[in-house]
Structure 1
């Protein structure tokens, strides 16, 4: 994505089409080739990022930066702009491209997103580590950066090339781990499988490919084990307690269940420095809003490499 500004042309609708127009969503669906449900979800996300509800455009320079993490800032600023503004149509086209990318294309896009496609120097790598571990002290950040640099380059140089990055990422023995990390769906699988009683439900059966695809081309979070009952509060509390232990990635679980990073950050603001409360609250909202079943939660835990937690449900 680091070269997005040069490789992606600026797209927009006619000036007369605004968010107050009745055809705002349908016009973007036609132009982008996305189903209505995906455009509606992207519009919700675009507003969370700070887009104007009047113009339908996002100016990264004046958007509420506190709601965006380091990675979101880089992605948003990589999109092509007109007069400093990003159109919603360009956002739709970019997200569609990410979902359709192959594994190789996603890895290259990730590398090019940081440092605008140039080699990663030590400072770039350190910023990346800090974005992953925002609460760690300087000594831990430096030690982790040093270790990561040596693993990327085998100690042969003090910068990371695209070839270094690709070789390291594709060397994982657990291919499912890499696939899960790179998985991205505009509309999470559990929403496609279990339509909600809202204004999107009429459009949920419509997908670009005509089928229901999971992260590995299969059934995603389709319930196949009979776990159709709703998880109890005590079960959600148990999951939250285990998932907020050190070395577990509870944010990845929420991503698989369909939460965006902006939604997670917003929930964290209600309970700062209390990941257990944040996770419990979001899990309850997911269960009650879907409704989300025990089977879907079990599969999400498995997909996020927390099978031991899934087995306790």
Structure 2
């Protein structure tokens, strides 16, 4: 995968490596350099801060940064970060600009290119065989017996039509996966949106940030009347936690490990955990923390009865 990611236009962000994130043009400068919308850069900056554990650090060192527990124990995430391009001056760190460029590629790459990157990621570009698949499956199915893992790995190789040596090269892997899954299934499996399309549409309806030529916004402003109040967040947190609220958190862009972290921090007090999560959402989304968005999330996560709180 590194062979692919290192061919990306990384140099466009090199002149930003010494800019402080406290500068007013921090987000817009990175938006202009990468071609992303400011709202996308802002979303990725929030994720980057979670990875580094700092609001000031502009480079990520996967070997030294204290990644969240759920990530530090995830062999797939750790291996993925090893494939990221690194700074020209520090071979152990990933600059924020490079992180943005890679995420942009994940968002826009074709299915064929993503499958090629996946092939390289799985075995560092070497031919894939049943033994390699067995090692991978052991990390996924930790409680499964070795003989069952072996049977699964051989079934995988048969389905993808391995060659006479029992191996798959890149083109065989890509062709095999495309035979086993429909285009729609592959699109859904490999889909990666920095910002969901409907949120980018909303970004078009909010006033443009100055100094950004690539910010996808116009002169309309929702105003403050559509912003969610703290009182409304508290009411929703209190009532939503009477049922399973994980789906609501996911619909707002939080990951499973985020949710578990909020629960642990609040001693498994669901109402307190969800309230803090909603506050973080409100703070991170800023002008996008609208009643309309939260109403949509409540509806999508089967909490339509809570929508009147936002009226």
Would the alpha carbon gap of residues 131 and 176 (structure 1) be closer, same or farther in structure 2, given more than 3 Å must change? farther
Shift of 1:105: 1.3
Larger radius of gyration: 2
Q: Distance in 2 between matches of 1:45 and 1:150?
A: 39
Q: Number of aligned pairs?
A: 252
Shift of 1:265: 2.1
Would the alpha carbon gap of residues 258 and 41 (structure 1) be closer, same or farther in structure 2, given more than 3 Å must change? same
Shift of 1:292: 4.6
Of residues 44, 67, 70, the one that matches 2:70 is 67
Match of 1:28 in 2: 30
Match of 1:3 in 2: 3
Shift of 1:209: 10
Match of 1:217 in 2: none
Would the alpha carbon gap of residues 57 and 236 (structure 1) be closer, same or farther in structure 2, given more than 3 Å must change? same
Aligned pairs for 1:1-313 (under 5 A) are 1-4=1-4, 6-8=6-8, 9=10, 11-14=13-16, 16-50=18-52, 52-65=54-67, 66-68=69-71, 69-82=74-87, 83=90, 84-134=92-142, 136-154=144-162, 156-172=164-180, 174-192=182-200, 202=207, 237=244, 254=250, 257=251, 259=253, 263-268=255-260, 290-293=293-296, 297=300
Shift of 1:138: 4.1
Q: Distance in 1 between matches of 2:146 and 2:261?
A: 24
> Would you say the 8 A contact 1:46–1:88 is kept in 2?
yes
Q: Distance in 2 between matches of 1:28 and 1:209?
A: 11
Q: Distance in 1 between matches of 2:185 and 2:213?
A: 26
Would the alpha carbon gap of residues 40 and 142 (structure 1) be closer, same or farther in structure 2, given more than 3 Å must change? same
Would the alpha carbon gap of residues 23 and 45 (structure 1) be closer, same or farther in structure 2, given more than 3 Å must change? same
Q: Distance in 2 between matches of 1:161 and 1:201?
A: 48
Please report the TM-score for the alignment, with normalisation by the length of structure 2: 0.64
Shift of 1:77: 1.3
Which consecutive unaligned segments of at least 5 residues does structure 1 have? 212-229, 241-249, 300-313
Q: Distance in 2 between matches of 1:105 and 1:39?
A: 23
Would the alpha carbon gap of residues 29 and 73 (structure 1) be closer, same or farther in structure 2, given more than 3 Å must change? same
> Would you say the 8 A contact 1:149–1:155 is kept in 2?
no
Would the alpha carbon gap of residues 27 and 75 (structure 1) be closer, same or farther in structure 2, given more than 3 Å must change? same
Give SS of 2:168's match: coil
Shift of 1:102: 1.4
Q: Deviations over 1:121-155 (max 9, x none)?
A: 44432343244435545454333223212222357
Would the alpha carbon gap of residues 265 and 17 (structure 1) be closer, same or farther in structure 2, given more than 3 Å must change? same
Q: Distance in 2 between matches of 1:176 and 1:19?
A: 39
Q: Distance in 2 between matches of 1:271 and 1:296?
A: 23
Q: Distance in 2 between matches of 1:25 and 1:209?
A: 10
After TM superposition, the structure 1 stretch with the greater mean CA deviation from structure 2, 21-30 or 3-12, is 3-12
